[in-house]
Copies of this chain bind each other. A is one copy, B any other.
Amino acid sequence: MGITKTQIFTERQNDLAQFFKVLGHPARVAILQYISNQNACICNDLVEEIGLAQATISQHLKELKSIGLLNGEIEGKSMNYCINVERWTAIQNELNLFFNTTKSNCC
């Protein structure tokens, strides 16, 4: 037990859950907000800004990258992470589709 039974759900259900899950941590929400405000970022800034260890920030960035939300560009000896706006919008649309088609009133 303890393992999510991915195989009993549809691919779409798993995908939707995955998007939600990646966004479901306050550090990742904060990272996205910060990057958006700065219009760029280097990971080192984030460590100071967010207040988590560098290794932890790096791990969160990796998860955001895993669903394509962030693009990382090497800029000299630092990394420039930025939001992949196309992907961002695509995921927003997916989630809205879910919200709009899963809304029924019975009682």
A→B interface (CB under 8 Å): 4-6, 8-10, 13-14, 16-30, 32-33, 35-37, 39-40, 50-52, 71, 73, 80, 82-83, 85, 88-89, 92, 95-96, 98-99, 101-107
Are the CB atoms of A9 and B30 closer together than 8 Å? Answer: yes
By beta carbon, the residue of chain B nearest A101 is B36
Q: Which 8 A-B pairs have the closest CB atoms?
A: A21-B24, A20-B24, A9-B26, A20-B23, A17-B26, A39-B106, A92-B99, A82-B106
Say whether A95 contacts B95, CB under 8 Å: yes
Is A17's CB under 8 angstroms from B36's CB? no
Assembly CA distance A80 to B6 (angstroms): 26
What chain B residues lie within 8 Å of A32 (beta carbons)? 102
CB distance from A3 to the nearest CB of B (A): 12
Chain B residues whose C-beta falls within 8 Å of the C-beta of A27 in the assembled complex: 4-5, 9
Which chain B residue lies CB-closest to A41? B106
